[in-house]
Structure 1
Amino acid sequence: MTIAGSIILIMLGAILTWAVEFTLAGLDIQVIGVILMVGGLAGLLFGLYRLSAVRRASTTVTPVAPVDEVHTTQRRVYEERHYNDPI
């Protein structure tokens, strides 16, 4: 579930919970709205976690040998990006 899909579920659940006035026999619209909001919130948290985990895993820091007699070190940072979309 994408972040946009999660936000849409949260908005749809909020509309069903607080803005809809009609009732259906054997079906509580407000409960369905709350379920959609909780599911959207869970999807949003999972999407944000996944996004941060991918960004955190793609950066690699490697130390480099000293350059001169002062023994200063340089660090080179390589950023690898992996795209999972098919061509």
Structure 2
Amino acid sequence: MGIGVSVFLLAVGGVLAFAVSDRISGVDLTAVGYILMGAGALGLAITMFFISQRSHTTHTSVTEHRHIDE
């Protein structure tokens, strides 16, 4: 899950939790909103962790040269 998807889940969850007052039989939209916001926040935290790890990673390549005596 990338940053864009995480922010989208946060936004949709916020709208469902705080702005929607309609009722659907058998579905608590406020709870669904909080769940989506939690998933978005968790996804954003995990994504930021992996981006941070990737920026601190170093790569070393080793090239071996052979010298031939004549």
Same fold (TM over 0.5): yes
1:23 matches 2:23: yes
Structure number having the greater strand percentage: 1
Q: How far has the Cα of 1:4 moved from its partner? A: 1.0
Query: TM-score scaled to structure 1, two decimals?
Result: 0.66
What are the residue-to-residue correspondences of 1:36-47 with 2, within 5 Å? 36-47=36-47
Q: How far has the Cα of 1:59 moved from its partner? A: 6.6
What are the residue-to-residue correspondences of 1:7-86 with 2, within 5 Å? 7-58=7-58
- Tell me, in whole angstroms, the C-alpha distance in 2 between the residues paired with 1:30 and 1:55: 37
Q: How far has the Cα of 1:54 moved from its partner? A: 0.5
Amino acid at match of 1:20: V
Query: Unpaired segments of 5 or more residues in structure 2?
Result: 61-70
Alignment-derived partner of residue 81 in structure 1? none
Query: TM-score scaled to structure 2, two decimals?
Result: 0.81
Between the two proteins, what is the percent identity of the paired residues? 32
- Equivalent residues, number: 60
